[in-house]
Chains A and B, each alone.
Chain A
Amino acid sequence: MPTIDFKGKQIEVDEDGYLVNLDDWNEELANYLAEIEEVQMTDAHWEVVNFLRNYYKQYQIAPMIKILVKEIGKVMGPEKGNTKYLYELYPGGPAKQACKIAGLPKPTGCV
């Protein structure tokens, strides 16, 4: 199993860098994962991460992209409630890259 070295601790990740143990996640580690992904975390990025984590806690899966888009539009303003904006925040995709930084498993299926 691959690992990443974080503050002298070996954190288990899968081949794509998603955390294996979701409990390993904390904000500092999220910042570190974002750094690896070359994503500069801003308040908007955190909105996405926090929403994903809360949704996951309740439903054991990341939300439909459209749900995320709607939520971001609600919080950040309607002009930002679109998929394009989410891709600006997370060029690797709002589902996959944002989930990785949020410490959630990678979405599977035809997505």
Chain B
Amino acid sequence: MAKIGAPELTGRIEIPKLAEGASADQKSYIAKPDNMAALSFPRERLPNWKEKAIEKFGELLKKYRSLQLSMDICVKCGACTDKCHYFIGTKDPKNMPVARQELMRKVYRKYFTTEGKLFGGLARAADLDDNLLDEWFTYFYQCSECRRCSYYCPYGIDTAEITMAAREIMDSIGYGQKYTLEIIGKAETIGNNLGMLGPALRNTLDFVEEEIKDNTGVDIKLPTDVEGADVLLVTPSADFFATPHVESLIGYAKVFHQAGISWTFSSYASEAGNFGMFIGNYDHMKTINKRIWDAARELKVKRVIAGECGHAWRAMYSFSNTLNGPFDYLDKKYPSPVHICEFTLDLVKKGAIKLDKSANDGFTVTFHDSCNVARASRMGDKIGGQFIIPRELIKAACNKYVEMSRGTTHAETFCCGGGGGLLTDELIDLRVKGAMPRMQALKAVIDSNGVNFFALICAICKAQFTKIFPYYGLEMEMVGGVHQLVSRAIILGAKEGV
């Protein structure tokens, strides 16, 4: 494998000079035939793939009016060109959002517009041939569907939706990406992205209980499949496996314990994440999402709370109702899923739990807005709640908090570089480079304010930054969860009631 070179950290984000084809060799692995078949996709590329791809394209244009609009409406104003972290990091002009979209638009013109059908190349129309399909596979898997470019688009074109449609078309002709499809297979059959079976989950949670007991002296349970519990917590399964993810898991458990609220995990729906969204496939998204609501009904919980996971929050908050609603079996006071940050902050404000900020005095904290939370969802009942709530919670748990520079936070946040189904090792060079804009903004506050804790609310962000920090010469221990801070600060002991 070629040596991965991280860009130099200067604390500044600069628009690069173009380097044609610079990331053309960054390709995802192709999904295995058995995996494709298990998800009802063709095992491998169909002999008549082109015909089928165009047919699927036409179907999607009819099904999603927004896609049709996005195909027609772009005026090539260029507002999106320098907004993509993968473009800034790789310098490859095909990663300019408008250029990536053009890979699809020129096929659209060829098959779905009169001028394209009549004048072909003169009307900037192109046939979907082998080369172009390869470019689709390369560059639509170099988009993390973070929608930063969409935020700047004067027409509001949803680039992520275009990427999702391209992936959906490719899957439908038997040309899928291994990483996302392997995970969808596990989520649908085992119940989580890791492929962790019930006994392993229980063993893991037993271990976490022992850890908490050893460190705090308090008996805190992480229950599974408790019928009649008030809350079903669904969290990314990475919380059951990875570091620092588990530290937030410990944080959630302490919060429930101290507030005296009964809760449970489900071993059937032991995953908040939903990779069906990443491949733009409605059926798989629905199947994965349904597990959560089936579990909620079966366990007779009053409410559903989502752990720290960016795209899961989008899938649960923005799509659950359409996919598998209505949720009339939940307590009417809690009709939709609640984010764990909102839940915990509410308890802090009510005085039901108390946080000792000085427990985090060793840290100067900054917060990275995760793309799917920032640009594709809300939190709480106020506009901008998804920005306010995590920050208020962090500030309730520590004394030293610093913002990164404007233009890199809130709705303008940069993706971590590993979202949207790209958190896979064969794309490591792309991931390192794609993280660069965020790393520059972070470097600036490390230098100016001594930031040494990088707080996150997404499992992908946590895994991505833990992996790529060392490439930039930073310690991976800086990466942590918001509930990791809560976990350190929460005062356990005699309850004063909710």
A interface vs B, CB < 8 Å?
15-16, 59-67, 69-70, 83-84, 93, 95-96, 107-111
Contacts and interface: CB of A to CB of B under 8 A. Distances in A.
Interface string B287-309: 00000000000000000000001
Contacts of A63: 204
Interface of B: 29, 178-179, 182-183, 186, 192-197, 199-200, 203-204, 207-208, 211, 236-238, 240-243, 245-246, 273, 309, 423, 425-426, 459-460, 462-463, 467, 477
B243 A65 contact: yes
A65 B200 contact: no
Contact of B241 (A60, A69, A109): A109
A65 B208 CA distance: 11
A19 to B, nearest CB: 15
A61 B195 CA distance: 8
Contacts of A65: 241-243, 246
Contacts of B243: 65-66, 69, 83
Contacts of A95: 241-242
B203 A108 contact: no
A100 B165 CA distance: 34
Contact of A16 (B197, B241, B426, B463): B426
Contacts of B236: 109-110
25 contacts: A15-B178, A59-B203, A60-B197, A60-B200, A61-B195, A64-B204, A66-B207, A67-B207, A93-B467, A95-B241, A107-B194, A108-B182, A108-B183, A108-B186, A108-B194, A109-B186, A109-B192, A109-B193, A109-B238, A110-B242, A110-B273, A110-B423, A110-B460, A110-B463, A111-B463
Given A65-B243, A111-B238, 7 more contacts: A16-B425, A59-B197, A59-B200, A62-B241, A83-B477, A108-B183, A110-B462
Contacts of A64: 204, 207, 240-242, 246
Nearest to B204: A64
A88 to B, nearest CB: 12
Contacts of B207: 64, 66-67, 70
A66 B211 CA distance: 9
A108 B193 contact: yes
Closest CB pairs A-B (n = 10): A109-B193, A59-B200, A110-B459, A110-B238, A111-B242, A109-B194, A110-B460, A65-B243, A111-B238, A61-B200
A66 B208 CA distance: 9
Contacts of A69: 243
A20 to B, nearest CB: 10
Nearest to A96: B425
Main secondary structure of the interface of A (DSSP, over half): loop
Q: Which of A60, A61, A96, A110 has the most CB of B within 10 A?
A: A110
Contacts of B200: 59-61
Contacts of B194: 61, 107-109, 111
Contacts of A110: 193, 236-238, 242, 273, 309, 423, 459-460, 462-463
A13 B426 CA distance: 15
A24 to B, nearest CB: 18
Nearest to A63: B204
A15 B460 CA distance: 22
Nearest to B425: A16
Nearest to B475: A84
A63 B467 CA distance: 19
A108 B195 contact: yes
A32 to B, nearest CB: 18
Nearest to A68: B243
Nearest to A93: B467
A1 B182 CA distance: 16
A56 to B, nearest CB: 10
Contacts of B273: 109-110
A69 B195 CA distance: 21
A80 B385 CA distance: 42
A59 B199 contact: yes
Given A108-B183, A110-B236, A67 B426 contact: no
A107 B459 CA distance: 14
Contacts of B204: 63-64, 67
Contacts of B179: 108
Contacts of B195: 60-61, 108-109
Contacts of A111: 194, 238, 241-242, 245, 459, 463
B284 to A, nearest CB: 16
A65 to B, nearest CB: 5
Contacts of A16: 425-426
A70 B203 CA distance: 14
A66 B246 contact: yes
Contacts of A70: 207, 211
Q: Which of B195, B200, B208, B463 has the most CB of A within 10 A?
A: B200
A96 B424 CA distance: 11
Nearest to B202: A59
A84 B199 CA distance: 28
A15 B238 CA distance: 23
B222 to A, nearest CB: 12
A110 B195 CA distance: 12
Nearest to B237: A109
Nearest to B240: A64
A96 B29 CA distance: 17
B197 A61 contact: yes
Nearest to B214: A70
Contacts of B196: 59, 61
